[in-house]
Amino acid sequence: MSTLRVPKEFGVHRQEKVVVVPLKKVFEGVDKLSIVRKIFGKKTSEIVNSLTVELHSRRGYMGVSQDDGRIFLSQPYLKDGPDHYLYLDIIHELVHVKQQRDGKDLFDEDYDYVDRPTEIEAYKLAAEEARRIGMNDKEILEYLDIEWMSASALKKLVKNISLELQTVFPKSKPNFSGWYQTK
Ligand SMILES: [Zn+2]
């Protein structure tokens, strides 16, 4: 048993620079998109206008808070991510926003990430939209192949979202343990 102890009067405030802005300040025209209107229906404008994005400095993509439905977005990703990735990811996250508003558990530990019904719904819609905007199978697969997903999990995800692909599986990227692992 170690006797290492920092003095009790010492404390740490581990602050990360966090900025919360309206969604509209980050992405334009979201409420005009037919795919988004498909998610929220008549309430699209009202909901999209009320959404906020929390920008954080960690590497990663996007996520949604189970508590209040705010969207998390990695600043490095916002800076360097391709437009079509950001487009598909915001669609994915808006599906989670709808699910969160419907009272669904976005982080149901009874399922692995790629088997979770909330993820399957989000990935399915994003993949369909990817095809609609002209991405080919290889590009869709590369988009789905996120850094912290294993090759077998990716394969399972493709099967779970009923995506018919005319291409071979890429070798999965290395595991990025330092990433903010959410999407
Ligand atoms: Zn997701």
The alpha carbon of 168 and the centre of ligand 1 are apart by a number of angstroms equal to: 24
The alpha carbon of 65 and the centre of ligand 1 are apart by a number of angstroms equal to: 11
pLDDT tens string, the chain, 183 residues long: the values are: 678 888 888 888 777 677 999 999 999 999 999 999 999 999 999 999 999 999 998 899 999 999 999 999 999 999 999 999 999 999 999 999 999 999 999 999 999 999 999 999 999 999 999 999 999 998 999 999 988 888 899 999 999 998 888 776 666 565 555 667 678
Cα 37 to chain centroid, rounded: 19
Looking at the domain assignment, is residue 39 inside a domain?
Answer: yes
Looking at the domain assignment, is residue 64 inside a domain?
Answer: yes
The alpha carbon of 118 and the centre of ligand 1 are apart by a number of angstroms equal to: 7
Q: What is the pLDDT of residue 11?
A: 82
Looking at the domain assignment, is residue 75 inside a domain?
Answer: yes
Looking at the domain assignment, is residue 6 inside a domain?
Answer: no
The alpha carbon of 78 and the centre of ligand 1 are apart by a number of angstroms equal to: 17
The alpha carbon of 52 and the centre of ligand 1 are apart by a number of angstroms equal to: 17
Looking at the domain assignment, is residue 170 inside a domain?
Answer: no
Domain count, the chain: 1
The alpha carbon of 8 and the centre of ligand 1 are apart by a number of angstroms equal to: 41
149: tokens are 């997903």
Looking at the domain assignment, is residue 167 inside a domain?
Answer: no
Q: What is the pLDDT of residue 179?
A: 64
The pTM of this model reads: 0.86
Inter-helix orientation angle 117-132/83-101, to 10°: 140
Count the neighbouring beta carbons within 10 Å of the beta carbon of residue 97. 24
Looking at the domain assignment, is residue 175 inside a domain?
Answer: no
The alpha carbon of 2 and the centre of ligand 1 are apart by a number of angstroms equal to: 41
Looking at the domain assignment, is residue 81 inside a domain?
Answer: yes
Tell how strand 62-64 and strand 71-74 pair up.
antiparallel
Range of the domain at 63: 19-160
The alpha carbon of 179 and the centre of ligand 1 are apart by a number of angstroms equal to: 15
Nearest to 146 by CA among 107, 119, 167, 166: 119
Residue 72 dihedral angles phi and psi, to the nearest 5°: -95, 140
